[in-house]
Amino acid sequence: MSLIELIDKRTVKVPLEAKDKQGVLRELVDLLALATDKVSDPEALYQAVLDREALGSTGLSEGIAVPHGKTNAVKNVCLALGVAPDGIEFDTADGKPSRLFFLIAASTDKAGPHIAALADIARLAQSSALINALVRARDASELIAILQGD
Amino acid sequence: MTKPVERIMVYLDGSEGSILAMRLAVVFADFSGAELYALSIVNTRALSDLVQSHIFLEAEREEYRRELSEDGARYLNHAVEMGRRKGVSVQSLNFSGSIAAGIKEKVGELGIDLLVMGPPPRIRSRRDAMFDELESAMRTVDCSVLIARNEERIEKLYREL
């Protein structure tokens, strides 16, 4: 399942309101839970994402973070995407703040689609030009158009 | 006279498309007397990419590899059962690596002459077109490729076997 197949305008937020790491995770989980019917237990999903972060930050270099969690509190695989143009401290590999957040949640029996979506983000993360374009998007529609045009 | 199709293979990833392809392949195998193979792939290439990009920890790589392997075994059991119900023998195949490489390697190794696949996912970005592994396998594999479409008709064919 490719990244673009998971993109849903209702779960893309530009800009994010949160100002810290936990706030971003909470905002993205709530976005998924409120905008879709894919999350049966937002607290369980939030905890799964926090548990994963506790093992090691999913903040990569180039301003991208890919928090993810596996829980039966979600149906199939789902994604929330947010942009924080000013950056948020996320314990990243290069010490720089993160600006683009892909939160991916998957049920425990969906390893294949979960990995396919994450692999797509890993490839996207290699393009600084694309990341910069996404961070500059003024709203969700523009961000989705950039991803589709890439 | 050489039979037009002697060995058929289906790649299974648990998607509805791959199940549809399996049903059509069972119908073809019954009709043609061809040997039928079902292939499951643990995409260790993607897992390595995720560790390299720091999205996954080493511990996650192992956890997901195990889960992919278990999922694959389940898909293969289901495929064998689908064949058994219609009196068609299905041989299970496993591979670890990239999906495109696995399909191509097994086609060459076994002399597969027909690969049956589910409908490819709709391409919605240029990146999809460049990196979709099934798309890549379909374009480059050294045998004929049959795309299973028209679910209603295939279900009917399978049911009537």
Tens of pLDDT, residues A24-76: 999 999 999 999 999 999 999 999 999 999 999 999 988 999 999 999 999 88
Select the residue of A1, A122, A150 nearest B55 (Cβ to Cβ). Answer: A122
Q: Touching check for A133 and chain B: CB below 8 Å?
A: no
pLDDT score, position B145: 96
Q: Which has the minimum average pLDDT: A20-24, A84-88, A144-148? A: A144-148
User: CA of B121: which chain A residue's CA is closest?
Assistant: A1
pLDDT score, position B24: 98
Query: pLDDT confidence of B137, banded at 50, 70, 90?
Result: confident
Q: How far is B90 from chain A (nearest CA, A)?
A: 23
Residue B3 burial (CB < 10 Å; 0-12/13-18/19+)? exposed
Contact B57, B10 (CB under 8 A): no
Contact B71 A109 (CB under 8 A): yes
Give B41-84 pLDDT, tens digit per residue: 999 999 999 999 889 999 999 999 999 999 999 999 999 999 99
Query: In whole angstroms, what is the distance from residue A136 CA to residue A84 CA?
Result: 10
**Residue B50 tokens, joined:** 């995720």
Q: Tell me which architecture the domain covering B7-160 has in CATH.
A: 3-Layer(aba) Sandwich (3.40)
- Other residues' Cβ atoms within 10 Å of the Cβ of residue A86: 9
**Residue A131 tokens, joined:** 């990341």
State the residue for tokens 């399978």. B158
Contact B127, B26 (CB under 8 A): no
User: CA of A147: which chain B residue's CA is closest?
Assistant: B125
Contact A115 B59 (CB under 8 A): no
pTM here? 0.86
Domain locations along chain A: 3-149
Which of chain B's residues have a Cβ under 8 Å away from the Cβ of A93? 54
Specify the CATH number for A3-149; select among 1.10.10.10, 3.40.50.720, 3.40.930.10, 3.40.1830.10: 3.40.930.10
ipTM reported for the complex, 2 dp: 0.86
For B53, phi and psi rounded to 5 degrees?
-85, 0
Contact A58 B55 (CB under 8 A): yes
Q: Which has the minimum average pLDDT: A13-22, B16-25, B136-145? A: B136-145
